[in-house]
Structure 1
Amino acid sequence: MEAVAAAWERYAAGRTPRRPINAAGASTWLNWTQYPDHGPDESLLGAVRGRRVLELGCGTGCNLAHLATLGAECVGIDIAPSQRVKAEARWGDIPGLSFRTAEAMEFLAGSPASFDVVLSIFGPVWFTNPSILLPLVRDSLTAGGMFVFSHKPAMAPGRPRASLREARAVTRWDYSAEEWAELLASAGFTCAKAEIIEPPAGGRVGTLLVRAER
């Protein structure tokens, strides 16, 4: 696990901070895709005020901070310690928002708390064995709770999936929309829906967006 945390520390060190204002002039916003000012917003979660939200792989907390400004009670976890430092420095004054350094499966297995929403945006859902992670996520959700995550679509058919390397010690589980829907159903989720959000003009790769309920 130390090697995995170190790999994500290296990745975090090279990331550019999110700009302070988006194209609409907002200082907080939720972005599901890898493109700025593109794709759906938080409305696909429904009303979040008063709901408990957990983000797996929250990074510097920008997406979760937006939900907290809308009245959600938010917890963000990230395996890279420096991400918590950056998140607290930028968003630490927002009520109802907290950050922790933790690996996703260890946090889910050890936390007695339950959540109304669990989300992961290009986070550990893409880099964790789904046969272990998905049941843990389901168990952490309240009845009717929502699980939503996004990452790039699966690579071309015939390419290896469970052995792709993002960095040393990090494996990527690369599944199609249909495969994710089947995996979620097998883990006890309902209403599973997976779709590809087409890229904006000039973009070459879309975004896989997956939703399911407990």
Structure 2
Amino acid sequence: MEAVTAAWERYAAERTPRRPVNAAGAATWLNWTQYPDHGPDETLLGPVHGRRVLELGCGTGCNLAHLATLGADCVGIDIAPGQRAMAEARWGDLPGLTFQTAEATEFLTGHPGSFDVVLSIFGLVWFTNPAILLPLVRQSLSPGGVFAFSHRPARPDQEPRGSLREARAVSRWDYASEEWAALLSSACFTNITAEIIAPPTGECEGTLVVRAER
């Protein structure tokens, strides 16, 4: 676990902070794709006001902060302590928003039925064995709760799913849309959608966005 934490700390240190405002001049916004000002917004999650929201792998908290401004009661977890520090430095005064340093499967195990929405944007869903993670996510959701996540699409030339990266510390599970749908169905999720969002003009790679309900 120490090696995994160290790998994510190195990754976080190299990331460029999100800009202060987006193209529309907003100070907070939700961005599901790897491209700025592109793709769906928070409506993918349904109404969030008054709902309990958990982000897995929240990083510096920018996406979750937007949901808090819409009236959600938000918790963000990340395995890297440095990410929590940056999130709290930027968003610590925002009501309805807390951050914790935690390993996801341990956190989910201790919070059954605690959340109405669980999301992960290019976060740990991509880096955690779904056979372990998906049942825990479902367990953490209230009846009818929403689970949504995004990551880059699987490509035939990628390394095998689960291949070790970051000095053999971090694994990644690359699945196509239909594979994620099947995995979620096997974990007893319903109303599953999994689709590739087309990239903006001039870009060649889309974004896989997945949504399901308990």
Report the count of equivalent residues: 214
Which runs of 5 or more structure 2 residues have no equivalent in the other structure? none
d(CA) in 2 for partners of 1:181 and 1:164? 24
**Separation (CA, whole Å) in 2 of partners of 1:158 and 1:48:** 36
String of CA shifts for 1:15-59, please: whole Å, max 9, x gaps. Answer: 000000100000000000000000010011111000000000000
- Report the aligned-residue RMSD: 1.3
Look up the match of 1:38: 38
1:189 & 1:157 partners in 2: Cα distance? 30
Deviations, residues 140-174 of structure 1 (Å, cap 9, x unaligned): 00000000000000121785212252553001000
Instruction: Provide closer, same or farther for how the CA distance between residues 112 and 177 of structure 1 changes in structure 2, counting only shifts above 3 A.
Output: closer
Residue aligning to 2:14:
14
Matched, 1:186 2:172: no
Partner of 2:80: 80
Change (3 A) 1:67 1:12: same
State the AA in 2 paired with 1:39: G
| Residue number in structure 1 paired with 2:208 | 208
Instruction: Determine what percentage of the aligned residue pairs are the same residue.
Output: 78
What residue in structure 1 maps to residue 58 of structure 2?
Answer: 58
Q: Deviations over 1:80-114 (max 9, x none)?
A: 00000000110011111000001111110123561
Supply the AA of the counterpart residue of 1:47.
Answer: P
1:148 alignment partner AA: A
Provide the C-alpha distance between the structure 1 equivalents of 2:10 and 2:159, rounded to a whole number of angstroms. 26
Unaligned runs of 5+ in 1: none
Give the secondary-structure state (helix, strand or coil) at the position aligned to 2:33: coil
Matched with 1:114 is 114
Instruction: Give the distance between the partners of 2:77 and 2:176, measured in 1 at CA.
Output: 26
Instruction: Indicate the residue corresponding to 1:162 in structure 2.
Output: 162
Query: Contact (CA 8 Å) 2:112, 2:139: kept in 1 or not?
Result: no
Aligned to 2:26: 26
Q: What SS class does the counterpart of residue 87 from structure 2 fall into?
A: helix
2:167 and 2:132 mapped to 1: Cα distance? 21
- Whichever residue aligns with residue 171 of structure 1, its letter is S
Code of the aligned partner of 2:64: L
- Residue number in structure 2 paired with 1:172: 172
The amino acid that maps onto 1:100 is Q
